[in-house]
């Protein structure tokens, strides 16, 4: 009695994520996605949706596809105790990387604020 999950076509995904079918197939060829098939057609589920969302966000944050693939693999369960431990380690590594990025962006924004003040001051001075 499980509700029939919503599915998506490859062009549904392309529109939804403002990308191309070519790119989506490429991610699959690189092992980031593995959609079901209806004949030869790809059928995407909500799980694929989540993964692609992660991929696209990763792109905007400058992550490589290899890094996003690592992250995706962390979100797969599949494990004994040793595997779980490895996942926890990878999570810790990822957290450090993200923390570092976070810090660098905050830094960049502060410098931007400072520069804005300088420019505004220069404008006032020039108007006197």
Partner DNA sequence: AACCAAGTTGACGTTTACGTCAACGTAACT
Partner DNA sequence: AGTTACGTTGACGTAAACGTCAACTTGGTT
With binding defined as CB under 8 A, does residue 63 bind a copy of itself?
A: yes
> Which residues ranging from 15 to 44 are in contact with DNA (CB under 7 A)?
19-23, 25-27, 30, 39-42
- The least distance separating a copy of itself from the CB of residue 78, rounded to whole angstroms, comes to 10
Per the CB < 8 A criterion, the answer to whether 9 and 2 are in contact is no
For the chain, how big is the Rg over CA atoms in Å?
A: 21
Instruction: Confirm or reject binding of residue 54 to DNA (CB under 7 A).
Output: no
Q: How far apart are CA 75 and CA 48, in angstroms?
A: 12
Instruction: Provide φ and ψ at 6, rounded to 5°.
Output: -70, 140
Residue in 31, 64, 105, 122 binding DNA, rule: CB under 7 A: 64
CB of 46 to a copy of itself, least distance (A): 15
Say whether residue 74 binds a copy of itself (CB under 8 A): yes
Query: Does the footprint of DNA cover residue 47 (CB under 7 A)?
Result: no
Taking CA atoms, 104 is separated from 65, 66, 97, 100, 110, in Å, by: 21, 22, 11, 6, 10
């Amino acid at each position: 009695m499980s509700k029939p999950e919503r599915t998506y076509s490859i062009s549904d995904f392309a529109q939804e994520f403002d990308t191309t079918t070519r790119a989506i197939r490429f991610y699959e060829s690189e092992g980031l996605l593995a959609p079901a098939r209806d004949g030869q057609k790809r059928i995407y589920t909500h799980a694929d949706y989540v993964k692609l969302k992660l991929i696209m966000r990763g792109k905007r944050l400058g992550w490589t596809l290899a890094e996003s693939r690592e992250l995706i693999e962390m979100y797969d369960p599949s494990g004994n105790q040793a595997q779980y431990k490895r996942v926890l380690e990878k999570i810790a590594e990822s957290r450090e990387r993200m923390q570092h990025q976070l810090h660098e962006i905050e830094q960049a924004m502060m410098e931007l604020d400072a520069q804005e003040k300088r420019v505004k001051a220069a404008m006032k001075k020039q108007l006197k």
